[in-house]
Amino acid sequence: MGLDEEETEQQSAGTKTPVDAEEGEQNLDEKNRPRTASESSIHATEDEEEDDGVGGKKINLGPQCTLKEQIEKDKDDESLRRWKEQLLGSVDLTSVGETLDPEVKFLSLEILSPGRSDIVLTIPEDGKPKGQWFTLKEGSRYNLKFSFQVNNNIVSGLKYTNTVWKTGMKVDSSDEMVGTFSPQLEPYTHVMPEETTPSGLFARGSYSARSKFVDDDNKCYLEINYTFSIQKEWPAEQ
């Protein structure tokens, strides 16, 4: 975007030669001309923003320890023990390992749509379902539901990301924060916010997509590359 410069006329008492008047106008133009940031200063600002964001410098919080070590620490201090129980919730000690890295295993994926049976999606081991993974009706409302289990350690900032392409062109990209979860025996279940499929002649057809579950360290726990289709009507239920 550009900025329009305003021409300013200045008049002063006394007589000036044409040369003096011209020099005065040039000086006024220099003073009144809007200043824009140099290229180097713009890059410096972007770097500062990156330092403040996720991709910036990380604060050193000292040596990390496993969740089991955290639980064992100060176990004789009653007040600290109660505080940890309140913070961690119902941690299953049998699911707590000796490693710093959490383990997140996805058990089920389903698509829910009003008035329809749930579409149960098989999770392939290689993350690449064969053929079209599912078909949706145009203009239909749906939710993605999934269940997963957490072992070893707390998973922080679990997030779902999804990118969709049609005929090689990216048509949608989204991400949704799921939350932070501690290890427990019972699996967690989460339902994503409701979405609506596009409708119309140009919306119908085949799509390719990539869905990922990552934490705030960008560690990926599940990645699925798949194809699906949007049709005028729902396919016949089996």
Whether 134 shows a pLDDT value over 50: the answer reads: yes
Q: What does the pLDDT read at residue 152? A: 86
Q: Residue 177 corresponds to which tokens in the numbers above?
A: 């924060």
Higher pLDDT, 162 or 18: 162
Whether 26 shows a pLDDT value over 90: the answer reads: no
How far apart CA 149 and CA 216 sit, in angstroms, is 18
Task: Report the b/e string of 107-136 with b at 16+ CB within 10 A.
Answer: eebebbbeeeeebebeeeeeeebeeebbeb
Q: Residue 167 corresponds to which tokens in the numbers above?
A: 């005929």
Whether 75 shows a pLDDT value over 70: the answer reads: no
pLDDT tens, position by position, 146-175: 999 998 888 999 999 999 999 999 999 999
Whether 95 shows a pLDDT value over 70: the answer reads: no
Summary mean pLDDT of the chain:
76
Whether 19 shows a pLDDT value over 90: the answer reads: no
Give the bridge partners for 231, in sequence order: 137
Q: How far is CA 55 from the centre of its chain?
A: 13
Q: What does the pLDDT read at residue 154? A: 87
Higher pLDDT, 78 or 51: 78
Q: What is the mean pLDDT of residues 66-71?
A: 60
Q: Which of 73, 55, 25 is nearest to 218 (CA)?
A: 55
Q: What is the pTM of this model?
A: 0.64
- Cβ count near 86 (within 10 Å): 8
H/E element, 69: helix 67-72
With cut-offs at 50, 70 and 90, classify the pLDDT of residue 65.
low
Q: What does the pLDDT read at residue 6? A: 46
Higher pLDDT, 87 or 167: 167
With cut-offs at 50, 70 and 90, classify the pLDDT of residue 64.
low
User: Which stretch of 27-41, 109-123, 185-199 has the lowest confidence by average pLDDT?
Assistant: 27-41
* Spatial contact of 91 and 71, defined as CB atoms under 8 Å apart: yes
